[in-house]
Amino acid sequence: MCLLSDIVTLRVFSENVTMREEQYHLTQKEIMKLQIITQALDGTLTVRQAAELLSLSERQVKRLKKGVTLEGPSSVIHKNKNRSPAHVLLETTKKKIIALKETKYEKANFSHFTELLAEHEGLVVSRSSIQRLLTEAGIKSPKRHRKRKLHHRRKRKEKAGLLVQIDASPYPWLGEKERYSLHGAIDDATGTVLGLYLSRNECLNGYFEMMRVAITDYGIPVQLYADKHAIFFVPKRKDLSLDEQLAGKVDKLTQFGRAMDELGVRIIPANTPQAKGRIERLWETLQSRLPIELQLAKIDTVEAANAFFPEFLVKFNRQFAVKPLDPDSAFSALDRSINLDYILCIKEERKLDGNHTFSFKGLAYQLNAKNPVAPPRARVSVLYNPKFGVMAAYQGQVYPTISVVATAVKQQPVKPERPKFPPVKPASDHPWYSANSAVFYDQSDSEILEALFNSTLAWR
């Protein structure tokens, strides 16, 4: 098939029998089609023969015959010829997209940039068109896919809530050079991000607040998958022997481990980062997208970022979460009688004094109650969290506390030092210097010795 256009000069007869000449730019295929249709009009070829030669239906041949009769040879030309496609990008639109990528959305990868154009600029363009346009303009994506070492891919859990991976990622999330730690939890079965919490460093309170969001919104998971950070596990712990387990001895728990134990959640340690690859992959996605979203929302503080996360997660999970194999959820609802604040906190034991006072973190606190149930000298559980401060619990009752000035310890009187006398050196003829020194008794002392030996007082 030749696609070169030829100029065809045909004589066209109008209704008033006047003759005129018109020129048409036809391809070789269109010339062949016009010749066959002309022969069909002259009666040289039947409609069926013309349809077989053109590989068209008889209905299409009849349509072409009618078009040539009414409109002339131009009817064999495709109507979209020399017409721009409806979805083609205008030059002004191309320049606008390139300008936005180089200025406002410089750090966004191509996929995220496509979403931002539709959400904030009203430009709905396919990702492939964006990639082709920006690549031709010499712009490279800040997130290029590199060849990675292959690892065994673990299958997702069947139900949501069976396994939740938790971790923290230090990164300049607020667009500054200062790095903050983002604590996160992702469900293994669905890829749903259950909660995010930003703090200055990776800390126990960051994980507590992240778990508070996850439990409040979704429920209590069955298991957590975490690295061997000291927040989750006691360093250098030893496995208990069978005898120790039978004796009822248990491993020492961290504050986070104790809180999860109270909720009935088991924590599983991950030996390598690849073992919890689901949340490691999440950090790559968030590091590429979240700083830009925070910048567009004009958020530059930790408090504002934590308030922004619920809205952000709704959109993020709608795009990236998947359906589980089993629609039944393994998350369990928190009992209404349980106050989550009194679990997600630091708990330590202290002993009250006679005034219901105890010491904690170098300060003295007193139970702020008129008639507390806790008697003096009782052992109480001290609860501490930045949200409510310091409280004390005894037999299920939680008491607020007030900070008091610690009573000064009465100093003991200083005893006078005893005078030190110089050591006295024995004489050179002292018996101590004799190697074979012995005590000899006279013959007259034998009666005294015998009396002492036979005395009943000597054996009492």
DSSP string, 342-386: GTSSEEEEEE--TTSEEEETTEEEEE--SS-SSPTT-EEEEEEET
Write down the pLDDT at residue 167.
Answer: 95
Please tell me what DSSP assigns to residue 76. G
CB 184 within 8 A of CB 312: no
pLDDT of residue 451 exceeding 50, the answer is yes
Write down the pLDDT at residue 237.
Answer: 61
pLDDT of residue 134 exceeding 80, the answer is yes
Are 259 and 180 in a shared domain? yes
Least confident piece of the model among 128-132, 246-250, 352-356: 246-250
Are 219 and 302 in a shared domain? yes
Are 169 and 67 in a shared domain? no
Are 67 and 178 in a shared domain? no
The whole-angstrom separation of Cα 112 and Cα 106 is: 11
Are 208 and 284 in a shared domain? yes
The whole-angstrom separation of Cα 121 and Cα 104 is: 11
In this structure, what token pair is assigned to residue 162? 């069976």
Write down the pLDDT at residue 452.
Answer: 67
Average pLDDT over residues 280-308: 93
Write down the pLDDT at residue 147.
Answer: 58
Bigger pLDDT: 337 vs 165: 165
Write down the pLDDT at residue 418.
Answer: 77
In this structure, what token pair is assigned to residue 118? 């539709």
Answer with the one of 379, 404, 429 that is the final residue of a domain: 404
Are 221 and 106 in a shared domain? no
Answer with the one of 404, 427, 444 that is the final residue of a domain: 404
% of residues, the chain, pLDDT over 90: 38
Q: What are phi and psi of 161, to 5 degrees?
A: 95, -10
Q: Is residue 195 part of a domain?
A: yes
Q: Which residues pair with 299 in a beta bridge?
A: none
- Whole-model pTM above 0.85? no
Least confident piece of the model among 123-137, 201-215, 385-399: 123-137
Write down the pLDDT at residue 458.
Answer: 55
Q: What is the CATH number of the domain that holds 168?
A: 3.30.420.10
Longest dimension (CA), the chain: 181
Are 104 and 213 in a shared domain? no
pLDDT of residue 217 exceeding 90, the answer is yes
CB 236 within 8 A of CB 277: no
Are 303 and 175 in a shared domain? yes
The whole-angstrom separation of Cα 395 and Cα 374 is: 8
Mean pLDDT of the chain: 82
Work out the pLDDT band at 177, boundaries 50, 70, 90. Answer: confident
Are 105 and 58 in a shared domain? no
Are 13 and 128 in a shared domain? no
Least confident piece of the model among 73-82, 388-397, 415-424: 73-82
Q: Is residue 452 part of a domain?
A: no
Work out the pLDDT band at 419, boundaries 50, 70, 90. Answer: confident
Are 103 and 223 in a shared domain? no
Please tell me what DSSP assigns to residue 199. E
CB 312 within 8 A of CB 352: no
Give all strands of the β-sheet with 346-351 in edge-to-edge order: 346-351, 379-385, 389-394, 397-404, 363-367, 357-360
pLDDT of residue 12 exceeding 50, the answer is no
Bigger pLDDT: 451 vs 62: 62
* Residues in CB range of 141: below 8 A, 6 or more apart: 109, 110, 131, 134
The whole-angstrom separation of Cα 308 and Cα 331 is: 25
Q: Domain of 276?
A: 164-236+251-320
* Residues in CB range of 108: below 8 A, 6 or more apart: 101, 116, 142, 288, 289, 292
Q: Is residue 99 part of a domain?
A: yes
Average pLDDT over residues 233-246: 68
Are 310 and 177 in a shared domain? yes
Q: Which residues pair with 393 in a beta bridge?
A: 381, 398
Helix, coil or strand: residue 401: strand
Pairing assessment for the beta strands 389-394 and 363-367 based on DSSP bridges: unpaired
Max avg pLDDT among 46-50, 143-147, 239-243 = 46-50
Write down the pLDDT at residue 15.
Answer: 41
Write down the pLDDT at residue 105.
Answer: 84
Count structural domains, the chain. Answer: 4
Q: Is residue 413 part of a domain?
A: no
Q: Is residue 375 part of a domain?
A: yes
CB 187 within 8 A of CB 329: no
In 72-161, alpha helices (H)? 91-102, 110-116, 127-136
Q: Is residue 143 part of a domain?
A: no
Write down the pLDDT at residue 250.
Answer: 60
Amino acid identity of residue 26, one-letter, is L
Work out the pLDDT band at 314, boundaries 50, 70, 90. Answer: very high
* Residues in CB range of 354: below 8 A, 6 or more apart: 376, 377
